[in-house]
Structure 1
Amino acid sequence: MRKMVRTHRRLPSPLSFSASSCAGDASQSKPWLLVGLGNPGKTYQGTRHNVGFEMLDAIAEAEGISVSSIRFKALIGKGHIGDVPVMLAKPQTFMNASGESVGSLVSYFNIPLNQLLLMYDDLDLPFGKLRLLPKGGHGGQNGMRSVINHLKGSRDFPRLRIGIGRPPGKMDPSSFVLKPFTKGEREEMDFTLQRGVEAVRILLLEGFDKSATFVNTAQPSELLT
């Protein structure tokens, strides 16, 4: 993975991003709001339902952003990816009420919906596969259902879906999503998360189309299956 070069200028203080939303002018634009969905607490760490949290954490680690402040029922952190201001958020409301936090953040910071990226687990994608879409429904994912409801029904925001596969046999999906990964799955998911970090960088620095092409194009390992 290529290493992004970040400037060492003084970052804006928390909550002090500019109110301007001039497209293409990173120094004056409103921040992107990157949200990973999951459940708080040690009980849920490492489970399939928390890969949205894991993606957010991977981005934070790669970009040196601390996600430790509590605002609007979420753990948040602020920084830059390249020269693009970003706000990272992990709602602490539990999955089914994620919209309470996301809706408040969008409203308070007046985030344009095309600069809101939701990252979450998806049962309908093969394990370890990513899909970047510009908009869409909730697909039965209760966290996304809550977010859409708290955005007054709007579905016009990008989302990065992270495939966790379907439950085996007749296992109930609600039980499956709360199960931890096997050792092999953990290794594959870690690779997927790093690919997701790169996809987010491309999205913010080069645009949606280039990122979608990167994400949605089959990898050599996928072509062999």
Structure 2
Amino acid sequence: MFSKLTKRGFCTAISSRPWLFVGLGNPGEKFRGTRHNVGFEMIDVFAESVGIPMNRVHCKAVFGEGFVGDIPVFLAKPQTYMNLSGESAGPLAAYYKLPLNRVLVFHDDMTLPCGVLRLQHNGGHGYHNGLKSVISHFRGNREFARLRIGIGRPPGQMDPKAFLLQKFNNTAQERIDTALQEGVGALKLLLSHSLFESARHFNHEQKYKHIRLQTMPV
């Protein structure tokens, strides 16, 4: 991969510096399709859309690498289980010597309605244990981007942990499928423009979706 990067101007063109996209989730069939695994799903949908095979294991992650246009992209799904995601994300960023402003983490978010996305430049962990682990392995540095994928709040008095490990019902899954395709568009925009410009444009569109969906049950 690095010989290809050099040939395609990796060493000289700032605009073509690699991005590392990390989707958070839990490995194993029993977790497939659960709310806590939408970060994995986002990686899979994006990888398929740009033709990057996820066919390696690297730094405790299912891993793929390729180009989107002239931009090198690394894709990772840590296999450490959610609460230890940083054990993969930290070494990956270090291995490729990437500054954290070239790292983007995809994760589920209960504070957003199901199917609403947000692209952020940085932030805290918001009690998300996967993000907490990533931040810890970035030595406390929070200056990396996130794609927050709304999964909605637990109904009634339901235990949030149980809610996270449930699969989506049909209505919610339709919203998530639509959101993941919107996420692909946002990521492609990010790779061809700046993060700030992409986030401003994308979040403006998602704001109106948020208003529309927040009162609709799933």
Question: Same-fold call, TM > 0.5?
Answer: yes
Distance 1:192 1:151 in 2: 28
Partner of 2:77: 90
Paired residue secondary structure (1:217): helix
Distance 2:4 2:123 in 1: 31
Distance 2:152 2:132 in 1: 19
Could you say if the C-alpha distance between residues 224 and 131 of structure 1 is closer, same or farther in structure 2, counting changes exceeding 3 Å?
closer
Instruction: Tell me how far 1:221 sits from its aligned partner.
Output: 5.0
Distance 1:137 1:21 in 2: 33
CA offset digits 1:78-99 (Å, max 9, x no partner): 0111210000000000000000
Alignment partner of 1:123 is 2:114: no
- Cα contact 2:25–2:37 (8 A) shared by 1: yes
- Which consecutive segments of 4 or more residues in structure 1 shift more than 3 A? 15-22, 218-225
CA offset digits 1:118-163 (Å, max 9, x no partner): 0000111111111111111001100000000001000001111001
Partner of 2:14: 23
Partner of 2:22: 35
Partner of 1:179: 166
In the superposition, the TM-score normalised over structure 1's length comes to 0.88
Could you say if the C-alpha distance between residues 168 and 109 of structure 1 is closer, same or farther in structure 2, counting changes exceeding 3 Å?
same
Instruction: Tell me how far 1:68 sits from its aligned partner.
Output: 1.5
Partner of 2:194: 207
Alignment partner of 1:146 is 2:146: no
**Aligned match for 1:165, one of 152, 157, 168:** 152
Partner of 2:34: 47
Instruction: Tell me how far 1:16 sits from its aligned partner.
Output: 6.3
- Cα contact 2:35–2:108 (8 A) shared by 1: yes
**Aligned match for 1:103, one of 86, 90, 100:** 90
Percent identical residues? 49
Deviating more after overlay: 106-115 vs 206-215: 206-215
Instruction: Tell me how far 1:223 sits from its aligned partner.
Output: 4.8
- Cα contact 2:53–2:64 (8 A) shared by 1: yes
Instruction: Tell me how far 1:176 sits from its aligned partner.
Output: 0.3
Partner of 1:8: none
Distance 2:53 2:176 in 1: 22
Partner of 2:61: 74
CA offset digits 1:58-94 (Å, max 9, x no partner): 1000001101200110010001112100000000000
In the superposition, the TM-score normalised over structure 2's length comes to 0.90
Paired residue secondary structure (2:192): helix
Instruction: Tell me how far 1:218 sits from its aligned partner.
Output: 3.8
Distance 2:80 2:212 in 1: 40
Instruction: Tell me how far 1:215 sits from its aligned partner.
Output: 2.3
Distance 1:79 1:192 in 2: 23
Give 5+ residue unaligned stretches, structure 2. 214-218
Distance 2:127 2:103 in 1: 20
Distance 1:200 1:135 in 2: 16
Instruction: Tell me how far 1:206 sits from its aligned partner.
Output: 1.1
Instruction: Tell me how far 1:213 sits from its aligned partner.
Output: 2.3
